[in-house]
Amino acid sequence: MSKVLLVSDIHANLVALDAVLKDASVHTDFQAVWSLGDAVGYGPRPNECLSRLAELDARSVVGNHELAAVGEISLDEFNPYARAAAEWTGGVLDEVSRLYIASLPRTEVIGDFTLVHGSPADPVWEYITDPLIAVRNLEHFDTAVCVCGHTHVPIAFGFSPENISTERSEPGSTVSIKDGRWLVNPGSVGQPRDGDPRASYAILDRDEMRVTFHRIEYNIEEVQRQMMEIGLPAMLIARLAIGQ
């Protein structure tokens, strides 16, 4: 289980997820998939994305959008677009998907890695957007590395006694996580927000302790067509094309 495909914030975008799975298998023979939450919400194919993760036997944690769709958390914290999508998602989730979501932990520890959606301190809501928030979180997990999602921006924060580093994760770049402690976010498969609309993911090499970031184009127009057919908010449809 040395090579792991890291995915997060798939957001019911099956076209993007399948593009990532195909591209990842070209780059590497990954043996495991770890999903960092928000596999549903915003997008048009929630049941299909969850069943794809189940087929892959992915290790997954739950995100705020899963919890909202099954009524575990209130929609008050959601903006009107996210709320409309969460209500639609809640209405179409089938029984298998609901059972799958109910089985997901908020925090998972696998060897040297802690998996969460938001942050170790607040797995559901906190966004780790800068090194200060990252450093505050170091005392909230015991492993060397935390992998997280939620911001939809690929990034790696590294900490050693002498140094804090922020790796901006250009596509194709590799970050060594051998020394010190790290928080790594593979970015969003289904709704990137760093200005690059391509699907984002990362490959973790557990033997070498390094992470490689990747981007792959997918058929955005097809997903937008699916969303229009359902009647999801126009803002959510438009943002896919600009990666914001």
Contact region with Zn ion (CB under 5 A), list: 6-14, 90-98, 107-115, 209-217? 6-14
Task: State the nearest-atom distance from the C-beta of 193 to Zn ion, in Å.
Answer: 9
Cα angle value 47/50/52 (rounded, 5°):
105
Tell which positions 35-54 bind Zn ion, by CB under 5 A.
38
Angle between helices 46-55 and 14-27 (to 10 degrees): 30
CA 3 → CA 109, 203, 212, distances in Å? 17, 7, 11
Closer CB to Zn ion, residue 9 or residue 167? 9
Q: Minimal distance in Å, beta carbon 181 to Zn ion?
A: 24
Q: Side by side, which strands form the sheet with 59-60?
A: 59-60, 32-35, 3-7, 199-205, 210-216, 174-176
Least distance from C-beta 38 to Zn ion, angstroms? 4
User: Which value, in Å, is the radius of gyration of the alpha carbons in the chain?
Assistant: 17
Per rule CB under 5 A, is residue 167 in the interface with Zn ion? no
Contact 110, 147 (CB under 8 A): no
Q: Contact with Zn ion (CB under 5 A): which of 9, 23, 66, 167?
A: 9
State both tokens at 20. Answer: 């990532």
- Residue 4 vs 86, nearer CB to Zn ion: 86
> Shortest distance, CB of residue 235 to Zn ion, whole angstroms?
15
Binding site for Zn ion (CB under 5 A): 9, 38
